[in-house]
């Protein structure tokens, strides 16, 4: 319990909620105002979108004022970026977790795909990362962020799968394939989340991508070189 000053004025009370004390948020969590702002912002950005979520409503939800917000963030966009990074980081961690322990590249790929499809269906990921991200951050910054988190996972998986055989791909070609798969999975994931039957849709996506990967295997077995590959002793 922090030392109680004689009078705390301007306490934003919740009207009609006698159970909630009038103590200011600052007194309760003075150290975590920033987190409270990000929490509320994440919710409002998810529900309303960037433009429609006003700073007034965000600071009201966090029970602070705009002064506090501008103390911690340089502006609305910076607040959004904080939210964006957290959502991306969470998504990346979820995928990493799914990959954990899988040793076989194909198993890894399947687990990663499933985790990715799950993430893409989260409302906050869809809204904040996919829908608003490019517009608010600008395409360059959006791409940078993506590169460091979710895309990195896809790249890792693709690398594992494509290098599993007798190929040793050029880095640029590998990046190209990763881009292609990343886009394929994103788009497919979005279609899954807006499908009438998401479970069936997810299965179709998994089947389709597995089929594509199977094509890779067969080509490898037939000795067809991957484009941009340098032959490797087997």
Q: How far apart are CA 25 and CA 195, in angstroms?
A: 42
Exactly one of 77, 92, 163, 191 binds DNA (CB under 7 A); that residue is: 77
Q: How far apart are CA 10 and CA 153, in angstroms?
A: 48
- What are the C-alpha distances in Å from 231 to residues 80, 165, 187? 46, 11, 33
CB of 55 to DNA, least distance (A): 3
Q: How far apart are CA 127 and CA 118, in angstroms?
A: 14
Exactly one of 20, 21, 66, 97 binds DNA (CB under 7 A); that residue is: 66
CB of 183 to its own copies, least distance (A): 2
Residue ranges in 177-196 that form contacts with its own copies under rule CB under 8 A: 177, 179-188, 190-191, 194
DSSP-assigned states of every residue in 143-180: HHHHHHTHHHHHHHHHHHHHTTSS--B-HHHHHHHHHH
Nearer to DNA, 50 or 151 (CB): 50
Exactly one of 45, 50, 73, 125 binds its own copies (CB under 8 A); that residue is: 50
Exactly one of 61, 65, 131, 220 binds DNA (CB under 7 A); that residue is: 65
Largest CA distance in the chain: 83
Residue ranges in 4-33 that form contacts with DNA under rule CB under 7 A: 4-6, 8-10, 13, 24-26, 30, 33
Residue ranges in 1-30 that form contacts with its own copies under rule CB under 8 A: none
CB of 111 to its own copies, least distance (A): 19
Residue 173: which of 155, 189, 195 has the closest Cα? 155
Contacts 24+ apart (CB under 8 A), 39-47: 41/79, 41/80, 41/82, 41/83, 42/83, 42/86, 42/87, 42/124, 42/128, 45/80, 45/83, 45/127, 45/128, 45/132, 46/123, 46/124, 46/127, 46/128
Question: Which range of residues in 71-79, 103-111, 132-140, 186-194 is near DNA by CB under 7 A?
Answer: 71-79
Residue ranges in 95-134 that form contacts with its own copies under rule CB under 8 A: 126-127, 130-132, 134
| Binding at 35: pick from DNA, its own copies, none (beta carbon under 5-8 Å per type) | none
Residue ranges in 199-228 that form contacts with its own copies under rule CB under 8 A: 201, 204-205, 207-212, 214-216, 218-219, 222, 224, 226-228
CB of 100 to its own copies, least distance (A): 26
Give the binding site for DNA (CB under 7 A): 2-6, 8-10, 13, 24-26, 30, 33-34, 53-56, 59, 64-68, 70-72, 75-77
């Amino acid at each position: 319990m922090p030392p109680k000053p004689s009078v705390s004025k301007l306490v934003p009370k919740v009207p009609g909620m006698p159970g909630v004390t009038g103590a200011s948020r600052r007194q309760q969590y003075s150290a975590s105002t920033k987190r409270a702002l990000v929490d509320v912002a994440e919710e409002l950005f998810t529900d309303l979108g960037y433009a429609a979520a006003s700073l007034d409503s965000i600071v009201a939800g966090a029970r602070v004022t705009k002064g506090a917000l501008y103390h911690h963030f340089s502006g609305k966009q910076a607040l959004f970026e904080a939210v964006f990074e957290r959502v991306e980081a969470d998504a990346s961690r979820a995928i990493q977790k799914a990959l954990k322990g899988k040793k076989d590249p194909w198993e890894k790929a399947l687990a990663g795909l499933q985790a990715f499809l799950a993430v893409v269906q989260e409302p906050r990921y869809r809204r904040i990362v996919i829908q608003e991200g490019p517009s608010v951050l600008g395409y360059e910054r959006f791409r940078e962020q993506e590169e460091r988190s979710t895309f990195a996972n896809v790249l890792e998986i693709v690398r594992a799968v494509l290098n599993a055989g007798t190929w040793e791909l050029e880095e640029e070609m590998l990046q190209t394939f990763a881009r292609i798969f990343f886009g394929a999975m994103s788009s497919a994931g979005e279609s899954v989340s807006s499908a009438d039957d998401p479970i069936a849709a997810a299965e179709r996506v998994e089947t389709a991508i597995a089929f594509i990967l199977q094509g890779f295997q067969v080509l490898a077995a037939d000795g067809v070189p991957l484009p941009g590959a340098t032959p490797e002793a087997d």
